[in-house]
Amino acid sequence: MRTLKIGITCYPTVGGSGVVATELGKRLAEKGHEIHFITSSLPFRLERAYANIYFHEVEVNQYQIFRYPPYDLTLASKMAEVTEKHGLDLLHVHYAVPHAVSAALAKDMSGGDVKVMTTLHGTDITVLAHDPSLQNIIRYGINRSDKVTAVSRFLVNQTRDQLDISRHMEPIYNFVPPRISVPANQHALRRWYGIKDDEDVIVHMSNFRPVKRVEDVIQAFCLIRKEKASKLLLIGDGQERHSIEKLVEAKGLYDDVLFLGNQSRIYELVSLADVMLLLSEKESFGLTALEAMAVGVPVIGTNIGGLPEVISDGETGIICPVYDYQAAARAALSVLNDQAMHRRMADAARARAFSAFNSETIVANYENLYAEMLELH
C-alpha cells in the first residue's frame, strides 16, 4: 500500500475518542503515512514531536456579529485549506457532529476528491441522536461519509436503529498501545498515596459525567470498605466532582478516597489497583476498562452498551446489572477475596487486551478501509 496523506479531526482534550484518534495518528505515522491533525488545540496525547505528524490549529474568532462562534464552519474551511495545500487523500473524523458535517463541506469546497471516513464513538449517537433537532444533521454527516466505522457492534446497531440508517457501518474496536511499561515495584507510589500494605486498591477513571454513575462507584466502595481495608483512587474530573466529594464526606470516607484529578501517566496509576469499577449507564465501548485490562486489572462493569464486548464476563472481570451497586460490591469482593481467581482474571485481562484489541491488527483494519475507499486494492 502506498503511503497516504491523512487529515485527522477529533476533540483534542481529555476523552477516549481523542486518545484513540491521537494514538491512531501516531501508529499511522510510524508506518510512514503523513498525518495532519486539524483540531482546536494540540491533542493532549501528542506529548512530544513526531516525524510525519503536523498540527493545524482551528482558531475560532469571536466576532461581535456572531452570538455563537461558528466553529463548524471555521473547521470546514481549515480542512479544505489543508486538503488543498497538502494534497490530502482522506479526512478521518472522529464524531459525526460537527466533524463529519464539516468534512462533507470541506470535501465540496476542495473539489470533491478527498475521501471522508467518520468514526462514531458513542455520545454522538447514544446522547445526541435522541435530540430531534440534531437527528437530521447527524444522519446527514453519516450518510455523506465515504466510510463509517463505530467502536463497537453495539454502536453500529444503535446507530442503525436510532437514526434509521441502512448504509454499511464497520465495527472497529478501540485499541491499546503495543507496549505499556509500568514499574515492577509500585511500593514508593503506594506509600506516596498513603496506601497501607494490607489495603486493596480499587480504581475508577472517567470524566465524571452523570452517565458514568460515579455515585454508584462510591456506594459500592462504601460496601467494600466495610468488609475489607481498601482505598479508592478516582482518576479524572468533570461536572459531578463536587457532588461526589460531598457524598464521600457524608459517608465518612474522605481518608480512603483519593481524588487524583486528570492525570497523564494513567497506566502507572491504574496498575496500582486490584480491581476497576466502571458502573456507567451509557458506554459505547469503555476505553478505561480496556486500559485497566492492559495492565492486568480485572474490571467490574455494567451490562450496557459495548462494555460486554470489552469485558469478558467471568474471565477478565464481572458484568453486573446497571444501577445495582450492591451487586457490583459483591462482584468486587468475590475477586478481591479469592487470590487464585484474581490472578486468573488479571492474566486473562492482559492477554485479551493485547489480542482482541491489538493495535497492529486494528490499525491495519483502518488502513484496509482507507485503501478500499481510495480504490487502491
State in angstroms the smallest separation of the CB of 287 from ligand GMT. 4
Please check whether residue 268 is in contact with residue 182, taking contact to mean a CB–CB distance below 8 angstroms. yes
Nearer to ligand GMT, 79 or 287 (CB): 287
Chain centroid to CA 128: how far?
A: 17
Q: Is 123 in the site for ligand GMT (CB under 6 A)?
A: yes
CB atoms under 10 Å from CB of 332, counted, come to 29
- In whole angstroms, the minimum distance from the beta carbon of 111 to ligand GMT comes to 31
292 binds ligand GMT (CB under 6 A): no
Helix/strand/coil for 122: coil
Q: Considering only the stretches 103-111, 179-187, 205-213, 325-333, report the one whose residues sit in contact with ligand GMT under the rule CB under 6 A.
A: 205-213
Stretch that binds ligand GMT, among 16-24, 56-64, 195-203, 291-299 (CB under 6 A): 16-24
Contact call for residue 359 and ligand GMT (CB under 6 A): no
Contact 7, 90 (CB under 8 A): yes
The continuous run of DSSP H or E covering 262 comes out as none
Q: Cβ closer to ligand GMT: 79 or 155?
A: 155
Q: Is 126 in the site for ligand GMT (CB under 6 A)?
A: yes
Residue in 154, 285, 354, 357 binding ligand GMT, rule: CB under 6 A:
285
99 forms part of the interface with ligand GMT (CB under 6 A): no
The alpha-helical segments, DSSP class H, found in 31-129 are: 71-86, 101-109
* Stretch touching ligand GMT by CB under 6 A, among 13-21, 77-85, 128-136, 313-321: 13-21
Q: Which residue among 141, 286, 296, 298 contacts ligand GMT (CB under 6 A)?
A: 286
Handedness of CA 300, 304, 305, 311 (dihedral sign): positive
Q: Which residue is nearest to ligand GMT (CB)?
A: 122
- The reply to whether 43 sits near ligand GMT by the rule CB under 6 A is no
Q: How many residues does the chain have?
A: 377
Contact between 110 and ligand GMT (CB under 6 A)? no
How near is the Cβ of 88 to ligand GMT at its closest, in Å? 23
Q: Confirm if 202 and 230 have CB atoms less than 8 A apart.
A: yes
If phi over 0 gives left and psi between -120 and 50 gives alpha, with beta otherwise, what is residue 133?
A: alpha
Site string for ligand GMT, 172-191 (x = CB under 6 A): --x-----------------
Cβ-proximal residues to 239 (8 Å cutoff; 6+ apart), any chain: 208, 209, 210
Please name the helix (run of DSSP H) or strand (run of DSSP E) that holds residue 233, with its range, or none: strand 230-235
Q: Which is nearer to ligand GMT, 75 or 222 (CB)?
A: 75
SS3 26: helix
Q: What are phi and psi of 120, to 5 degrees?
A: -90, 135
As measured in angstroms, the least distance from the Cβ of 153 to ligand GMT is 13
Q: Is 23 in the site for ligand GMT (CB under 6 A)?
A: no
Among residue numbers 254 through 283, which ones bind ligand GMT (CB under 6 A)? 282-283
Nearest to 134 by CA among 165, 98, 102: 98
Q: What x-and-dash track marks residues 132-161 binding ligand GMT by CB under 6 A? A: -------------------x----------
Whole-number Å distance between alpha carbons of 17 and 60: 21
20 near ligand GMT, rule: CB under 6 A: yes
| C-alpha grid cell, residue 133 | 433537532
- Residue among 333, 299, 300 at smallest CA distance from 226: 333
Residue 122 interacts with ligand GMT (CB under 6 A): yes or no: yes
Residue 92 in the binding site for ligand GMT (CB under 6 A):
no
CB of 278 to ligand GMT, least distance (A): 9
Q: Which three cell numbers stand for residue 49?
A: 514531536
Output 16 or 98, the one with its CB closest to ligand GMT: 16
Residue 200 makes contact with ligand GMT by CB under 6 A: no
Grid coordinates 495532519 are at which residue?
Answer: 36
Cα 228 to Cα 224, 327, 329, distances in angstroms: 6, 16, 11
Binding site for ligand GMT (CB under 6 A): 11, 15-17, 20, 121-123, 126, 151, 174, 207, 209, 211, 282-287
